Chains A and B, each alone.
Chain A
């Protein structure tokens, strides 16, 4: 059934690109196709089991279909399909080590298995996954969603300790939508910027349950939110806000995790940031993240660490700054620098250049360079990505 759904969705998109202009419809279908080429260079690091420097060259074709069907004024069905075809060194390397690349992709599923995947020794892998699949009921005051969905509780920029259902890392730039959670979310709107909600993520085992409530309200031109609940084996309490200091944006999030396991410590995550746009359209964003769980011995972990709302970045303290500037209206440049003080002095440098080729064609050049200090200060990892995107 799943396979048929996937194939069906695949076929209709090509028909629909041309049929988009028709008005009367009670459904929406849009999406994109991206091609991402990457070159990642790892310097030799015996401590991490990399005896000699190694370069991975890979390619990824990525298709996304966002489908929404309005059954009536109050009820709609959402189904988004994400399909990726990979080929190159990483797939081959993984298969050589005896780790199926396909299986590692399958981990993105929550409770329901809504994906098909496969990989070969020749370095080819693919995955097709429904990362949104839910039924939604909406009335003026209520909103109820059941199924695989993104529950985004972030309110701040850069990092979101409040985003307990689906933590997001800044370094994963190619999946803005994020994987979905199989969950039930019930929201009641109190006014234009106030709501209360409860969300429960499906679980087989109570140790994996995430159950929490969120209250959003607006006071003195600030958006505030307070959350409380259970996140796996922690009780969590959080606070977040978005407002202004004069003309600059002032946003932050704080989460405290009280561990229910005796041998695991309580943890605390906080993020504060200020953003401002100058009259020449230069946008600056700066702030810091505190992560009580942060402790890392290698800069390479920036791309490999285990992400959760309790551990958003592998270091205890991180200062971030980001600048975005439109060189012309079609060419935008960006530079983000993340510096983590400590023995390693880990530095993550992320330059970006985006070019709008036409209304629906974009081209991006993205760099990720990591520096850290072991015996001397050097760069253990450099990556460059070339991305072309067509939206429809």
Chain B
């Protein structure tokens, strides 16, 4: 065996090791994509219960949701009675609101996207996912950390310059085994922590393992919290793009 051959074998081995290493650890962008694919599917429809908790009061809301990719989503409020029938439609960068009392759809200005959705700790953008977590951000792997006894990838996302979000950065903790988002921290442009989202109550729904309870905790407001519980969800239900229409906001029920 000449030295040339040995050299070639060494190169081959190191190449395999390198490739193998890459197979074990996907890029941060791929991790975020897997989380998205697992949590959303190609399309999904479901029901959630949202509870807004404040030090002296709490309010409950029930919501039905339909979504396809990150471009199309439809939200219908089914309770409480006061808001029942109110709907929101998002198509790409446009947002409409259906008001059943006046029998009319209202086009919402983009400046409303970042504001609180129905008084909760979610913004309109969180509800209808205006920004694309894959394309609108740069991703960096920060290391491995343990969250609730599960080994997690810690990934930092920084919005690209042209992305219209209020966040300076977002840090995700993603469960290595099942690609579940267990913790997310949102920072403002001055690097202050604004919100933490915890993914809890991991259960199988429609054949997928998911955190079925999300807790949104604003950083500097004692006793404030929004809890979202997934009542049910179905993945990859065939849905045409035409389903996400202004006229369908009042038809869905």
Contact = CB atoms under 8 A, between A and B. Distances in A.
A278 B80 contact: no
Interface in A211-229: 218, 221, 223
Nearest to A278: B111
Interface string A309-325: 00000000000000000
Contact of B101 (A176, A218, A330, A356): A176
A146 B152 CA distance: 59
A195 B59 CA distance: 38
B84 A30 contact: yes
A192 B245 contact: yes
Nearest to B108: A249
B135 interface: no
Nearest to A176: B101
Nearest to A330: B57
A278 B141 CA distance: 34
A215 B246 CA distance: 14
A112 interface: no
From A150, A249, A278, name the one whose CB has the most chain B CB atoms within 10 angstroms.
Answer: A249
Interface in B104-147: 104, 106-112, 114-116, 119
B115 A277 contact: yes
A176 B104 CA distance: 11
A343 interface: no
Nearest to B79: A359
Interface residues of B, number: 38
Nearest to B59: A359
A288 to B, nearest CB: 18
Contacts of B91: 192-193
Contact of B251 (A138, A177, A329): A138
Nearest to A392: B81
Given A150-B103, A359-B82, A391-B81, A276 B111 contact: yes
B82 A329 contact: no
B110 A152 contact: no
B82 A277 contact: no
A247 B110 CA distance: 5
A326 B102 CA distance: 23
B111 A247 contact: yes
A329 B52 contact: yes
Contacts of A249: 107-109, 111
27 contacts: A28-B253, A150-B102, A152-B103, A176-B102, A187-B247, A192-B91, A192-B245, A193-B96, A193-B246, A221-B94, A244-B109, A246-B110, A247-B111, A247-B164, A248-B109, A249-B107, A249-B109, A249-B111, A276-B109, A276-B111, A278-B111, A279-B115, A329-B116, A359-B60, A360-B81, A391-B81, A391-B82
The 6 A-B residue pairs whose C-beta atoms are closest, nearest first, are A249-B109, A192-B245, A391-B82, A242-B107, A359-B80, A247-B111
